[in-house]
Each structure stands twice: as structure tokens, then as C-alpha cells.
A and B are shown apart, each in its own frame.
Chain A
Amino acid sequence: MKFGVVVFPGSNCDLDAYHFVKDVLAQPVDYIWHQEESVAGYECIILPGGSSYGDYLRSGAIASFSPVMKAVKDFALRGGLVIGIGNGFQILVEAGLLPGALYRNTALQFRCQFTYLKVENYFTPFTKAIERGRLLKIPIAHGEGNYYVDKDTLHRLEVKGQIIFRYATEQAEVTAAANPNGSVFNIAGVCNENKNVLGMMPHPERAGEAILGSEDGKMIFDSILKHWEGSRL
């Protein structure tokens, strides 16, 4: 399965994502420069974390207009798999590929810590290989990961199964104390209605090897591989 990692000026988790796909998943992967106008030949596009365009104006706002994003939008509309991590999530909401907005953490701190994620929907390309009831231990590192949607949109996301991950305690309780950034409904990751585009603030590519403290991030990518293999049968 061929992965492409988009590189914007200011991306800084592009190397992590590339290393993860190449060395942990053992799948082919290329960097895709943001000026590229095509993503042809790739089966999954990763928008990595970082601070594209210095987070100027709003995180992800300027990157969402880069030439490659037009191609990523077309790719997503045709059903291609796209995963945005951290800043990549911010770019996806700014590009209108995912609902909602991400802004400053309520605690006013940059939060760099492990979080525990409760999986809310197992019937997506990103979660289908995850053991039922299993909490994912995946780190966050952001100052603007506070996810906001209005009440009507939240209701719609719930009904359509678009809420994928929620911050929980180690005991799997979704509480205010487990919420690191003030996100509505403890939301850590959402999908589009078709479930082929995922955005999440936690970094699964930083949780793929035991030496990093967790291998749980791999389950998300194992799901992607399982989905892709299934779609080829």
C-alpha cells in the first residue's frame, strides 16, 4: 500500500510519519511537496503534524489553500484515504474536508503528554482492526487542539458515527479531567460522513514502537492496511 506524506513549510512530524510507514509498517512511502498538483499513485495520504506556515492567521488556514490540497480534496472526494494528524487535522477542518474548528486549548498551555483514547466507531477504515473495548494510549503535542462544533453539528456527528476517538481516563471514563484541551464532548478525532477522511490531534505515528512508550498507534494503521487489502479482493 503506497503512502504519501505531504510536506508543508513548517511541517515537523513529516519525518516521524515517513519513518513510521517505512520502518514500522514496512510499506512504500514518499514525501509530497505542498506545491505538487497531483497525488496520483498513492493509496493513503498523510497530512503530518507541525506548524505549517508558522500557524499564522489560524493553524492550518494557509496550508489549506496550497496546490497539493486541491489534489487531496479530489482524492478524498473519490474515496481516497486521508489521515490528518495534529496540524494535519487543523488543515483538514480549514479545508472543509472535516466539520468543526480547532483553536486554543482552554488550559492555555501547550500540552505534550500521553492521552487515552476511547474508540467510538469500529466500522471505519481507521478503526476496523482495533480490538473492541481497547483503549489507545497515544501522545498529543499541541497548543491549539480544542475542537469546537455547535450543538446541532455535534448531534449530527453522533448520529452519523463520525466521532471516532474521545479522550478518556486510563479507566476508560470520558470525563472533564481526561480532556487535555477543552474539546467539545472530549473529541480527539473525527471522520467525514463517508469515513474515508480522519482527523485526530493525538499522534499515532509517535506511538508505533515499544521504545516510544506505546505501540497502540499502529492499530490505526493496521486498520488502514486491513481495509485496503479488503478493498482489493
Chain B
Amino acid sequence: MLKAQIKVLLKQSVLDPQGQAVEKALGALGYNNVEKVRVGKYLEVTLAENDLDAANKQVQEMCERLLTNSVIEDYTFTLVEV
């Protein structure tokens, strides 16, 4: 089996209100060297699939169809054996 570890972040061009709020909170806790925070999502999708190329293609398709919204988000993923 293969597990896709998918990271989703808002595009750099899209304002991230959550990230800004966390950034301010860290500042309030005294972490004055925090330059920037972006908040995203992490998804794990386990596939009954051993072929890396096939899994790669399928995960990309799933990201584009449902898991992410290409208008506001970017994603990256890695496949690991489980």
C-alpha cells in the first residue's frame, strides 16, 4: 500500500487571515523573531495501490478534483510505502 502525504497551502497571492492571526499570537507570546506564518492543511490518503506512477497520477487527480481548490490553494505531496 502507498500513503500520500498531502500538504495544502493558500497561494502566496492569497491573503491568509488565519496565518496572520497566529503570527500575531506568537508575537504576543514574545516570539519576536517570527517573520511570517501560513496556515494550511495536511491530508493522508492511503491507497490499495503499489504502483508509484499510478498512485502519483491518481493523487494528483484527486487533489485537482476535490482535495484542493486551485483558485486559492497550492498543494504538494509525497508517497510513502506503508
Q: Please pick, from B18, B21, B67, B72, the residue contacting A148 in the complex, using a CB distance under 8 A.
A: B72
- In the complex, what distance in Å separates the CA atom of A100 from the CA atom of B69? 10
B10, B13, B17, B66: most-surrounded residue (chain A CB, <10 A): B17
- B contacts, CB < 8 Å to A: 10, 13-15, 17-18, 21, 66-67, 69, 71-72
Q: Please pick, from B13, B14, B17, B66, the residue contacting A108 in the complex, using a CB distance under 8 A.
A: B17
Knowing A57-B66, A65-B66, the reply to whether A182 touches B71 (Cβ < 8 A) is no
A58 located at the interface, meaning its Cβ lies under 8 Å from any Cβ of chain B in the complex: yes
Contacts of B18 in A (CB 8 A): 104, 108
Give the 4 A-B CB pairs with smallest separation, nearest first: A101-B71, A101-B72, A106-B17, A104-B17
A103, A105, A146: most-surrounded residue (chain B CB, <10 A): A103
Q: Which residue in chain B gives the minimum CB-CB distance to A149?
A: B71
Assess the B15–A106 pair: CB atoms within 8 A: yes
A61 located at the interface, meaning its Cβ lies under 8 Å from any Cβ of chain B in the complex: yes
Least distance between A55 CB and chain B CB atoms (Å): 13
Q: 30 A-B Cβ contacts within 8 A?
A: A57-B66, A57-B67, A58-B69, A61-B66, A61-B69, A62-B66, A65-B66, A93-B71, A94-B69, A101-B69, A101-B71, A101-B72, A103-B10, A103-B14, A103-B72, A104-B17, A105-B17, A106-B15, A107-B17, A108-B17, A108-B18, A108-B21, A148-B14, A148-B71, A148-B72, A149-B71, A150-B13, A150-B71, A182-B15, A182-B17
